[in-house]
């Protein structure tokens, strides 16, 4: 006899009820288990900010300039007889460089000397005559007009002597000018003339150029914003200069080599270049080996001083928001992450110099930033803080 299904299963509604009971079975079985625990706060690496002395420097491009340059030009006309120097050598102030033919100037000097002697003899005669006429005129032995003429002749003879003496002095100067001397000490360049050349007084073309190379200037252009910042920081005591009050400058040459002699900042221009927004700053360097030549391109590192309470934050910890402000995450109370807007200055190696928004003792997140949310808890792990080495 075939088996018969219970009445409950023979109806459609009964079958649906049975399926619902079967489906509910696993859910009911699961009600006995606990929910999984929440994930722990993300672990992040932090550094503790410490104030430390920071040496501040600025690297600026510049050009070398000679301290003194003098063009050698003849002051009398004539034929060059000799050149008395080696091109490219060092010369001293007053050293003879050229000899111009002195013959005509020697003759003029001799003539002026003879004229002076003649006028001096005439003066003696005129004075003697005036002296004889004076008592005779008083005794009316000669006319008053005769005495006046004798006195005038003596004065004229004295004037002639003075004129002859001046002419002799001028002739002597011209004779000396035939010896062309170096106006300054320095290094002399190429000669533009050779013996036998005709030169003229005060000609436009220089015979040679003497350049003083030791010491030598380096001119750099510093942005006015940097200049103003340095002024403010120096005035407030944030930057401490060298003991003698000077500013140290070092050089890197165009081949990336370092010039081994430091220089000092000498002066700055008193106005800002409107076209570039920069201030001319001039440094002076010793140059005994003449390694630096005028016109060379260099990089000058200006030692701005020392900030005794500087703060450094690693560059990897700093990001920028949509407005361009620099931001960092710090660990606040109860290990909650806080987003802070900060102000940064120049880079210092792989760090930024903090100028505002942070203080010593704060914990800055440097690792695990991808897991950090503002106001969310974190698990901080202290790492080594950056050192003050650029």
Q: Encode pLDDT of 271-308 as tens digits.
A: 888 788 888 888 899 999 999 999 999 999 887 777 78
Pair (90, 193) in one structural domain: yes
Q: Indicate whether 15 pLDDT > 90.
A: no
| pLDDT interval class at 18 (50, 70, 90) | very low
How many CA within 13 A on the CB side of residue 307?
21
Each residue's pLDDT tens digit, 168-226: 999 999 999 999 999 999 999 999 999 999 999 989 999 999 999 999 999 988 888 87
92: CATH: 2.40.50.100
Whether residue 321 lies inside any domain: the answer is: yes
How much is the pLDDT for 68? 94
Q: What is the mean predicted confidence (pLDDT) over 138-150?
A: 84
If asked whether residues 219 and 114 sit together in one domain, one would say no
The verdict on residue 332 lying in a domain is yes
Tokens representing residue 18 in the block: 């049975």
Arithmetic mean of pLDDT over the chain:
85
pLDDT over 90 (residue 341): yes
- The Cα–Cα gap between 166 and 113 comes to 10
Longest dimension (CA), the chain: 202
Give the per-residue pLDDT at 31.
53
Of 189, 205, 221, the last residue of a domain is: 205
Task: Give the residue numbers spanning the domain of 355.
Answer: 45-53+310-382
Would you say residue 33 has pLDDT above 80? no
Out of 38-47, 56-65, 72-81, 239-248, give the one with best mean pLDDT: 72-81
CA–CA gap between residue 113 and residue 164 (Å, rounded):
8
- Give one DSSP letter per residue of 304-351, joined into a string: EEEEEEE-EEEGGG-EE-TT--EEEEEE-GGGBEEEEEEEEEEEETTE
For residues 217 and 297, membership in a common domain is answered with yes
- Sign of CA pseudo-dihedral 128, 130, 135, 137: positive
Confidence of residue 46 (pLDDT cuts 50, 70, 90): very high
Residues 90 and 200 in one domain: yes
User: For residue 269, what is the domain's CATH number?
Assistant: 2.40.30.170
Q: Which residue's structure tokens are 């703060």?
A: 311
Q: Count CB-CB contacts under 10 A for residue 10.
A: 10
For residue 261, being part of any structural domain is answered with yes
> Are residues 183 and 91 located together in one domain of the fold?
yes
Q: Are 126 and 184 in the same domain?
A: no
Same domain, 89 and 193: yes
pTM score of the predicted model? 0.65
Q: Has residue 3 been placed in a domain?
A: no
221 & 282 share domain: yes
Asked if 154 and 123 touch (Cβ cutoff 8 Å), the reply is yes
217 and 277, same domain (yes or no): yes
Q: Span 247-267, mean pLDDT?
A: 88
- Residues 261, 330 within the same domain: no
Examine the fold and report which residue of 127, 154, 175 is the final residue of a domain before the chain moves on. 175
185 vs 16, higher pLDDT: 185
User: 341-376: buried (b, 16+ CB within 10 Å) or exposed (e) per residue?
Assistant: ebebbbebeebbbbbebbeeebbbbbbbbeebeeee
Same domain, 293 and 340: no
Identify whether 34 is part of a domain: no
């Amino acid at each position: 006899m075939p088996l018969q299904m219970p009445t409950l299963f023979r109806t459609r509604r009964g079958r649906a009820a049975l399926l619902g009971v079967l489906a509910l079975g696993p859910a009911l079985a699961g009600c006995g288990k606990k929910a999984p625990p929440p994930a722990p706060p993300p672990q992040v690496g932090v550094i503790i900010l410490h104030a430390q002395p920071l040496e501040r420097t600025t690297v600026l491009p510049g050009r070398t300039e000679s301290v003194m340059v003098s063009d050698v030009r003849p002051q009398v006309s004539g034929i060059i007889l000799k050149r008395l120097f080696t091109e490219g050598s060092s010369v001293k102030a007053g050293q003879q460089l050229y000899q111009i033919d002195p013959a005509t100037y020697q003759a003029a000097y001799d003539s002026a000397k003879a004229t002076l002697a003649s006028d001096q003899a005439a003066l003696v005669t005129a004075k003697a005559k005036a002296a004889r006429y004076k008592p005779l005129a008083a005794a009316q032995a000669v006319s008053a007009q005769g005495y006046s003429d004798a006195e005038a002749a003596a004065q004229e003879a004295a004037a002639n002597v003075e004129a002859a003496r001046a002419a002799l002095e001028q002739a002597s100067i011209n004779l000396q000018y035939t010896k062309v001397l170096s106006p300054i000490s320095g290094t002399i360049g190429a000669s533009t003339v050779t013996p036998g050349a005709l030169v003229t007084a005060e000609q436009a073309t220089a015979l040679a150029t003497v350049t003083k190379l030791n010491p030598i200037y380096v001119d750099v252009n510093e942005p006015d914003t940097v200049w103003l910042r340095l002024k403010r920081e120096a005035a407030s005591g944030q930057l401490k200069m060298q003991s003698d009050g000077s500013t140290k400058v070092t050089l890197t040459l165009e081949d990336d080599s370092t010039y081994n002699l430091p220089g000092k900042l000498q002066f700055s221009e008193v106005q800002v270049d409107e076209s570039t927004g920069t201030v001319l700053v001039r440094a002076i360097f010793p140059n005994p080996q003449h390694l630096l030549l005028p016109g060379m391109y260099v990089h000058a590192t200006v030692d701005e001083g020392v900030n005794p309470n500087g703060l450094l934050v690693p560059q990897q910890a700093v990001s920028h928001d949509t407005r361009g402000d620099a931001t960092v995450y710090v660990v606040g109370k109860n290990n909650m992450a806080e987003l802070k807007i900060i102000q940064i200055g120049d880079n210092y190696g792989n760090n930024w110099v903090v100028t505002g928004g942070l203080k010593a003792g704060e914990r800055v997140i440097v690792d695990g930033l991808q897991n950090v949310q503002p106001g969310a808890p974190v698990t901080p792990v202290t790492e080594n803080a950056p050192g003050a080495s650029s």
